[in-house]
């Protein structure tokens, strides 16, 4: 599965970057292709391209705040989660997402 995501926390420092890294690791561990943008105190990093968004099967927003540019994901399947959830158990989070997606396909 192709996944794009955004990570952003209230302070825009540690949890933003930890969540982005854990999201990457969790998705890769489950065999997915993943690109994650961060929106932190220094602005947007690793900004998702429109091509990446268009090709994505799923958008994961690991956010604790309102993010900029959410309209880019209109029409996409979106999973919204707190950064702490992704940080605590990234692989289990991805397994749960996969299970939910499998239910909606049937």
Which one of the listed residues 3, 4, 9, 61 is annotated catalytic?
9
Cα–Cα distance for residue pair 66/98, rounded to 1 Å: 25
Cα–Cα distance for residue pair 82/75, rounded to 1 Å: 21
Long-range contacts of 97-103 (CB under 8 A, 24+ apart): 97/58, 97/60, 98/1, 98/30, 101/1, 101/58, 101/77
Active site residue 3: no
Going by C-alpha positions, the residue among 18, 9, 10 that lies closest to residue 89 is 18
Catalytic positions are 9
């Amino acid at each position: 599965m192709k996944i794009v995501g955004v990570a952003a926390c209230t302070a825009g420092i540690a949890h933003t970057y930890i969540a982005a890294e854990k999201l990457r690791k969790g998705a890769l561990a489950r065999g997915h292709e993943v690109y994650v943008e961060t929106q932190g105190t220094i602005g947007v990093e690793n900004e998702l391209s429109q091509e990446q968004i268009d090709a994505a099967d799923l958008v994961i927003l690991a956010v604790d705040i309102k993010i900029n540019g959410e309209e880019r994901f209109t029409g996409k399947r979106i999973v919204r989660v707190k950064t702490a959830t992704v940080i605590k158990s990234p692989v289990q989070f991805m397994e749960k997402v996969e299970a939910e997606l499998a239910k909606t396909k049937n």
